[in-house]
């Protein structure tokens, strides 16, 4: 072995050790931060989270074609008809409520998934929750309770380094372990929040990204439209900067494909890396974006092909679908 290669391998080994040490130090720091941070959620959290759940009105039949409804808002209203599962507007709070026959069930439980980005000095902690809303009827009143079960915390450094921690199921409260929890859908006792569509708490986002590398990120739009995982999205956007443009333009379907490409969608990324990308996918003017908002990559390819066809606007979608199917058979690009 020549002296150069020996030197090189020695240097590599040293740099690997340095890398490992940096990883361990940063992970240890992140773990301390997420363990001793405040568990408290913003004051507005419950009100905001409750907006994603159905509001429940329990009802009972009192006479022929006479029903009594007990709304979450506290009102007791008279109804001329009622059926379990039907949505009506409560005349008291004016909210859309779902009717439930209390004689069949006096507790209704709903589940949804939530994310919260908590800023640290110059980093962020992402917290993921499974949120439950339980609505009860006690014979005279409808009440509800919201509760959040936290499953994951991720410490994100500004340079993109990130460290994930999970709680042990049924384990000691406040104890965190490195890595993600078990995959969901493996029985009731497993982790549920990863891979789910997430509602991200929106009211602090503008502030927490100010003067950071994410200040121009389209994350707010992506969170609202596509329910993305915050850290995953932010990292993805750094790797594929086109993602920001696609969300800001409003090409949501295409953006979703870039955020989460399946194995055969990699070609999308190649096509979109070009600066002339929009023209390439057949969008020549900004006015065309509206029509393309929810079109996938394959549909855009097809749309480009039929652009000059003289057909009824109402037939366009059928034509796009027809060409898309043909293209699918030959898997052609632009």
Interface with Zn ion (CB under 5 A): 71, 73, 75, 90, 92-93
Q: Least distance from C-beta 131 to Zn ion, angstroms? A: 21
Q: Which residue lies nearer to Zn ion by CB, 94 or 329? A: 94
Do 256 and 222 contact (CB within 8 A), yes or no?
Answer: no
Do 139 and 128 contact (CB within 8 A), yes or no?
Answer: no
- Tell me the H-state helices in the chain: 3-36, 45-50, 205-208, 219-226, 230-239, 242-249, 252-259, 266-272, 277-280, 289-292, 297-306, 316-330
CA dist list (Å): 316 to 151, 283, 306, 313: 46, 15, 8, 5
- Coil, strand or helix at 265: helix
Q: Least distance from C-beta 75 to Zn ion, angstroms? A: 5
Q: Least distance from C-beta 100 to Zn ion, angstroms? A: 14
Tokens in use for 173? 């409260």
Q: Which residue lies nearer to Zn ion by CB, 56 or 234? A: 56
CA dist list (Å): 149 to 32, 114, 121, 170: 21, 10, 26, 11
Q: How many CA atoms lie within 13 A of 84 on its CB side?
A: 10
Q: Least distance from C-beta 198 to Zn ion, angstroms? A: 28
Q: Which residue lies nearer to Zn ion by CB, 71 or 130? A: 71
Q: Which residue lies nearer to Zn ion by CB, 55 or 127? A: 55
Q: Which residue lies nearer to Zn ion by CB, 69 or 282? A: 69
Do 98 and 57 contact (CB within 8 A), yes or no?
Answer: yes
Give the chain's largest Cα–Cα span: 98
Q: Least distance from C-beta 71 to Zn ion, angstroms? A: 3
Q: Which residue lies nearer to Zn ion by CB, 94 or 308? A: 94
Q: Least distance from C-beta 125 to Zn ion, angstroms? A: 37
């Amino acid at each position: 072995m020549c002296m150069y290669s020996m030197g090189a391998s020695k240097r590599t080994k040293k740099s690997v050790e340095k890398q490992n040490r940096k990883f361990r130090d940063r992970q240890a720091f992140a773990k301390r931060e997420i363990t001793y941070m405040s568990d408290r959620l913003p004051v507005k959290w419950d009100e905001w989270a409750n907006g994603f759940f159905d509001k429940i009105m329990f009802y009972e039949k009192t006479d022929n074609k006479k029903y009594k409804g007990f709304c979450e808002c506290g009102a007791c209203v008279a109804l001329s008809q009622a059926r379990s599962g039907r949505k009506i507007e409560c005349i008291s709070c004016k909210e859309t409520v779902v009717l439930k026959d209390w004689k069949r069930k006096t507790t209704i439980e709903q589940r949804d998934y939530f994310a919260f980005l908590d800023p640290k000095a110059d980093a962020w902690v992402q917290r993921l929750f499974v949120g439950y809303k339980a609505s009860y009827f006690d014979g005279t009143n409808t009440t509800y309770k919201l509760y959040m079960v936290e499953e994951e915390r991720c410490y994100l450094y500004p340079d993109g380094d990130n460290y994930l921690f999970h709680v042990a199921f049924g384990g000691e409260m406040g104890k965190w372990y490195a890595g993600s929890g078990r995959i969901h859908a493996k029985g009731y006792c497993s982790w549920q929040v990863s891979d789910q569509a997430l509602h991200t708490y929106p009211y602090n986002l503008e502030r927490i990204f100010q003067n950071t590398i994410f200040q121009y990120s389209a994350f707010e739009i992506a969170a609202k439209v596509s329910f993305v995982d915050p850290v995953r999205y932010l990292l993805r956007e750094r790797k594929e900067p086109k993602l920001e443009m696609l969300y800001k333009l409003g090409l949501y379907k295409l953006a979703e494909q870039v955020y989460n490409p399946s194995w055969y969608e990699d070609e999308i990324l190649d096509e979109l890396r070009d600066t002339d990308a929009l023209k390439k996918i057949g969008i020549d003017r900004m006015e065309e974006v509206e029509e393309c908002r929810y079109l996938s990559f394959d549909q855009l390819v097809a749309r480009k092909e039929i652009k000059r066809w003289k057909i009824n606007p109402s037939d366009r979608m059928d034509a796009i679908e027809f060409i898309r199917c043909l293209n699918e058979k030959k898997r052609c690009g632009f």
